């Protein structure tokens, strides 16, 4: 089995105006779909982040990929320097290997430890979409609680993650308290994307730490996080910002900046198999694990489920943006959450195939949107041109 064809397709899926500490999501989220076809007629698929740099990185790997046996992942990993590009290629190769052997990708990663993977509700403050959307404007604690109640009733999510760093910190504390009152059995977490100062993070952690299962990236950098963690000994800090690559593990452990690492096979760890190794490393270091999410489509959703299934020490429900997305590239129906969980696919490979019409439509979106990279700050200026100048520093 040799890779005979390598197709890279940039796509743009519609995205609501979700707020974060950097601004607001643009109308489209950018993703890249990889299709590898073999000389014996199989197709494997992968998905990674979008934008011009990723497209260039993937196209630059063509000579390293064509003619290679998909089983030769170590060879491919050594020849592809851009780890996010490798992630999509690895997904597609594992999909091919699974299809050729009749085994799901979770088996190739070590076997399923669970039949269902639990996810958390990912709650955002947001603007109303142009022309309106079902959520409307969510810019108060009370509106956010209503959003959470809809997520819980519709999808059955148990854990609730609040994307913070948007309202003044004390308003976000009130939001968490209202969430606890409205949904008393739901584990809570908050992620202000490192926008708060060390002092603010410590103050807030002392006020709300007892409500949280973990406190994600309240402040910037390992040193700042370590200072917060020392002051909040009873509150585990989590990260996907200050320990994000293998060379950051030792300094992160030495300074004591986190107790929970959020795995992400799209990011700089180096793919799905490396994330399995990372989970074992976290276990050895006494760190707990969960999984990070950015905007993603069904191919990544399938990959996340297979990866999560193969990790014994998955300690918390995984993040996912998937319910916020309505577009997809996979054939058939989108993934459907039941009781906050997705079943682990048992069909060969990733268990998804590409719908060429859906892929073509989202590729047309990418051409029409003509954006080289996501820029939440630039998008926020469209809502408020003076936002950066008057933005508080908490």
DSSP notation for 218-240? -SSHHHHHHHHHHH-TTS-EEES
CATH class of 3-103+354-370: alpha beta
**Burial letters 99-110, b for 16+ CB under 10 A, else e:** bbeebbbbbbbe
Which segments of the chain does DSSP mark as H helices, in order?
A: 52-60, 62-65, 73-79, 83-101, 105-108, 141-155, 169-182, 198-208, 221-231, 249-255, 272-285, 298-309, 356-369, 376-383, 387-390
Which pLDDT score, from 0 to 100, does residue 391 have?
Answer: 75
Cβ-Cβ contacts under 8 Å for 233 (sequence gap 6 or more): none
The closest alpha carbon to 34, from 16, 54, 14, 17, belongs to 54
Token code pair at residue 43:
């197709």
Active site annotation includes 292 = yes
The CA distance from 253 to 126, in Å, is 35
- Sign of the alpha-carbon dihedral angle for 154, 159, 163, 167: positive
Token code pair at residue 200:
């603010």
Cβ-Cβ contacts under 8 Å for 275 (sequence gap 6 or more): 263, 264, 265, 269, 307, 311
Token code pair at residue 8:
């890279």
**pLDDT single digits (tens) 235-284:** 999 999 999 999 999 999 999 999 999 999 999 999 999 999 999 999 99
Quickly tell me which residue has 């060969």 as its tokens. 348
First to last CA, the chain: 56
The CA distance from 345 to 374, in Å, is 31
Task: Count H helices and E strands in the chain, helices first.
Answer: 15, 14
Cβ-Cβ contacts under 8 Å for 372 (sequence gap 6 or more): 51, 52, 53
Active site annotation includes 163 = yes
Which pLDDT score, from 0 to 100, does residue 371 have?
Answer: 81
Q: Which of 25, 163, 265, 358 is catalytic?
A: 163
Which pLDDT score, from 0 to 100, does residue 49 have?
Answer: 95
Give the CA radius of gyration of the chain. 21
The CA distance from 254 to 269, in Å, is 19
Which pLDDT score, from 0 to 100, does residue 390 have?
Answer: 75
**pLDDT single digits (tens) 146-187:** 999 999 999 999 999 999 999 999 999 999 999 999 999 999
Q: For the chain, give every domain's residue range.
A: 3-103+354-370, 116-343
Q: Which of 161, 266, 292, 306 is catalytic?
A: 292
Instruction: Specify the CATH superfamily of domain 116-343.
Output: Enolase-like C-terminal domain (3.20.20.120)
Say if CB 313 and CB 283 are below 8 A apart.
Answer: yes
Tell me the backbone φ, ψ of residue 97, rounded to 5 degrees: -60, -45
Which pLDDT score, from 0 to 100, does residue 65 have?
Answer: 97
Q: Which residues of the chain have pLDDT under 50?
A: none
Quickly tell me which residue has 């986190």 as its tokens. 258
Say if CB 95 and CB 105 are below 8 A apart.
Answer: yes
């Amino acid at each position: 089995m040799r890779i005979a064809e390598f197709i890279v397709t940039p796509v743009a899926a519609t995205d609501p105006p979700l707020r974060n500490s950097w601004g607001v999501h643009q109308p489209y989220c950018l993703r890249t779909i990889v299709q590898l076809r073999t000389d014996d007629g199989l197709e494997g698929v992968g998905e990674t982040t979008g934008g011009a740099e990723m497209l260039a990185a993937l196209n630059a790997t063509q000579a390293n990929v064509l003619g290679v046996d998909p089983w030769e992942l170590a060879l491919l990993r050594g020849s592809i320097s851009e780890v996010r590009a490798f992630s999509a290629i690895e997904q597609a190769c594992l999909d091919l290997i699974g299809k050729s052997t009749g085994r799901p990708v979770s088996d190739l990663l070590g076997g399923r430890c669970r039949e269902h993977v639990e996810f958390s509700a990912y709650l955002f403050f947001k603007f109303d979409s142009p022309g309106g959307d079902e959520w409307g404007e969510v810019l108060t604690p009370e509106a956010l609680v209503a959003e959470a109640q809809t997520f819980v009733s519709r999808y059955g999510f148990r854990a609730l993650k609040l994307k913070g760093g948007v309202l003044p910190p004390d308003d976000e504390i009130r939001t968490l308290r209202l969430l606890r009152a409205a949904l008393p059995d739901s584990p809570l977490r908050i992620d202000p994307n490192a926008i708060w100062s060390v002092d603010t993070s410590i103050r807030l952690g002392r006020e709300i730490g007892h409500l949280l299962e973990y406190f994600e990236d309240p402040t910037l950098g390992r040193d700042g996080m370590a200072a917060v963690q020392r002051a909040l000994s009873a509150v585990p800090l989590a990260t996907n910002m200050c320990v994000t690559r293998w060379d950051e593990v030792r300094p992160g452990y030495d300074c004591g900046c986190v107790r929970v690492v959020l795995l992400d096979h799209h990011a700089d760890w180096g793919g799905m198999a490396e994330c399995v190794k990372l989970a074992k490393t976290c276990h050895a270091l006494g760190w707990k694990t969960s999984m990070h999410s950015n905007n993603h489509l069904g191919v990544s959703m399938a990959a996340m489920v297979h990866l999560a299934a193969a990790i014994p020490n998955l300690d918390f429900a995984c993040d996912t943006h998937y319910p916020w997305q309505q577009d997809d590239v996979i054939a058939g129906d989108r993934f459907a959450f039941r009781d906050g969980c997705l079943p682990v696919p048992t069909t060969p490979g990733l268990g998804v195939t590409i719908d060429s019409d859906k892929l073509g439509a989202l590729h047309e979106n990418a051409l029409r949107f003509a954006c080289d990279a996501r820029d939440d700050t630039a998008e926020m200026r469209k809502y408020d041109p003076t936002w950066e100048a008057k933005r508080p520093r908490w």
